[in-house]
Amino acid sequence: MGAEHLGDRAATWDEDPDKRRQADDVARAVAAAVPPGGRTRLLEYGAGTGLVAQGLLARLDGLAVTLADSSSGMRAVLAGKVADGTLPSDARVWELDLEHDDPPAERFDLVVSSMVLHHVRDLARVLDGLAALLDDGGLLCVADLDHEDGSFHEHLHDFDGHHGFERADLSAAMGRAGLVDVTVQDCTVIERDGRPYGVFLAVGRRERRDGA
């Protein structure tokens, strides 16, 4: 199973203060990694209910926002937030699953994925897709779980994603996808059943396609 169960929780996702805090911690770390500048075309992949994007909008000026998720339940919440003004009226909501779909023919300056990649089975394919969506020099920011013992998803009997990642392994996978200057830092901690699970932020820059 992938992440289908998450869509069932979309309507009540934002009621959990821990989820709001974690997303804001991710947004703070991503915002600190983005150089100041003009208009930034943001794609959040696996955006869920858009909490990370909301945190980015509060911190960064000039964001043009596209929010992608494979879950119809999450996309319904996102569309509702666009309709009620929680998210900008020009924010786009995309159905996208890069494990199965080709990347759309668009380019972004900033691609963010928060707590998504441990759910995907074909990590290389998804990272290739995210890199393809970046303009030359654009940033890929991946927040995800440090490698754990499998207890994080033990309540899901058929979870078949990753038990987090070794930071060096994910950095290497980002490098194979065409990201350079990859850095990894502590980002936040998730408490579950009294246990702390570390979350890192990995940031890489899309190398120029002409190799220069």
Interface ranges with ligand SAM (CB under 6 A)? 2-3, 6-7, 23, 46-48, 51-52, 69-71, 74, 96-97, 99, 114-116, 119-120
Rounded to whole angstroms, the Cα distance separating 150 from 86 reads 35
Could you tell me the smallest distance in angstroms from the CB atom of residue 184 to ligand SAM? 17
Contact (Cβ atoms closer than 8 angstroms) between residue 141 and residue 60: no
Instruction: Output 158 or 210, the one with its CB closest to ligand SAM.
Output: 158
Instruction: Output 20 or 107, the one with its CB closest to ligand SAM.
Output: 20
Could you tell me the smallest distance in angstroms from the CB atom of residue 7 to ligand SAM? 6
Strand 63-69: give its sheet, edge to edge. 92-95, 63-69, 40-45, 108-114, 134-145, 195-206, 179-192
Length of the chain (residues): 212
Residue nearest to ligand SAM (CB): 48
Question: For the packed helices 123-132 and 167-176, what is the interaxial angle rounded to 10 degrees?
Answer: 50
Radius of gyration for the chain, computed over Cα atoms and rounded to the nearest angstrom:
16
Instruction: Output 120 or 184, the one with its CB closest to ligand SAM.
Output: 120
Instruction: Output 69 or 148, the one with its CB closest to ligand SAM.
Output: 69
Could you tell me the smallest distance in angstroms from the CB atom of residue 211 to ligand SAM? 29
Could you tell me the smallest distance in angstroms from the CB atom of residue 40 to ligand SAM? 18
Task: Determine if residue 87 is left, alpha or beta; phi over 0 gives left, psi from -120 to 50 gives alpha, anything else beta.
Answer: beta
